[in-house]
Amino acid sequence: MKLILYILLFLIYSCDDLSEQSGPLDYNGLISEGWSSFMQGDYDKSEEFFLNILEIDPSLVFYYSDAYLGLGWSAMYKAKNISGIDSTSFVNRFELRESAKEWFYEAIDEIDSYTGEAIGTDTIRYGHKIDILALPAPKVFLSTEGLKAVGPKAFGFDIEFKSIFKNE
């Protein structure tokens, strides 16, 4: 009898602090949720997560390239899912593809070979000596399902994916 009383008292007093803690997701949480939503085909939700990353204080984030790539891919697949041959569908697809292109341009990091400073795509000129930085793909893209969705074959190229990075 005493044992049951002790167990009940233990349960009653120990459950005070059991509560779900919620708050805004951090960078890694937003990236994970964004790609998860993308892989489930919820491109609007993935876009929302990636846009939330851009609102994070720049001093807390090293780079936004993952968010830019996620936004670009989300826009591409939203455009891909628009059916119809009418002018409105065409315009919507075109605008989404243009939006994707802009997001992809944001993800490309170009730096001056001499100074190491970033160069915007709008200021680059013929003869400018630059280095292009390639960033590794998010792990979700390297899975079998990921490569089916965004690999070369997803865009009609009959080639196998080969990463430029040694550990991918």
- What integer is the mean pLDDT of 119-132? 69
Q: What is the pLDDT of residue 136?
A: 78
Domain ranges of the chain: 25-108+141-155
* Cα separation values, 36 from 47, 75, 111, 137, 168, Å: 11, 15, 31, 15, 20
62 — pLDDT class (breaks 50, 70, 90): low
Residue 79 burial (CB count, 10 A): 19
CB-CB neighbours of 48 under 10 Å: 15
Instruction: Name the residue with higher pLDDT: 20 or 119.
Output: 119
**Angle value at C-alpha 108, between 76 and 77, nearest 5 degrees:** 5
Whether 118 and 111 have beta carbons less than 8 Å apart is answered as yes
Q: How far apart are CA 73 and CA 149, in angstroms?
A: 10
CA-based angle 76:85:42, to the nearest 5? Answer: 35
For residue 90, is pLDDT > 70? yes
Smallest CA-to-CA distance from 34 within 59, 51, 55 is with: 51
Q: Which residue has the higher pLDDT, 59 or 50?
A: 50
- What is the three-class DSSP state of 109? strand
The answer to whether 64 touches 50, Cβ cutoff 8 Å, is no
Residue 18 per-residue DSSP state: -
Query: 34, 56 in Cβ contact below 8 A?
Result: no
In this prediction, residue 50 carries a pLDDT of 92
Question: What is the model's pLDDT at position 120?
Answer: 62
